[in-house]
Amino acid sequence: MEAEQMKVLVNDEEQYSLWPTYLAVPDGWRETGTAGSKEECLEYVREVWVDMRPKSLRLQMEQSAG
């Protein structure tokens, strides 16, 4: 059985998700351009999603600190 192909999505809060390639991208999400096996996609997410706080929280914290 062939492994399901996935793609990596990201939303406006810079949160990532794996999504099956055969499904339409849901509203509020966009493709990152990375697709492949689940493990390949997870490796990409581990490399790029180093700060798991939502973007709005990061900006708020930066403004409070600065």
51 belongs to a structural domain: yes
**Alpha-carbon distance 41 to 20, whole Å?**
11
Q: Which two tokens stand for residue 45?
A: 């997410």
Q: How far apart are CA 4 and CA 33, in angstroms?
A: 17
| Within a domain: 20 | yes
Number of domains in the chain: 1
- The range of the structural domain enclosing residue 34 comes to 6-65
Strand partners, 9: 17, 31
According to DSSP, residue 7 is labeled E
Q: Is residue 23 part of a domain?
A: yes
Q: What is the pTM of this model?
A: 0.84
Please give the pLDDT value at position 48. 97
Q: What is the CATH number of the domain that holds 51?
A: 3.90.820.10
> Is residue 1, in this structure, part of any structural domain at all?
no
> In tens digits, what is the pLDDT along the chain, a chain of 66 residues?
467 899 999 999 999 999 999 999 999 999 999 999 999 999 999 999 999 888 999 889 989 987
Determine the pLDDT at residue 52: 87
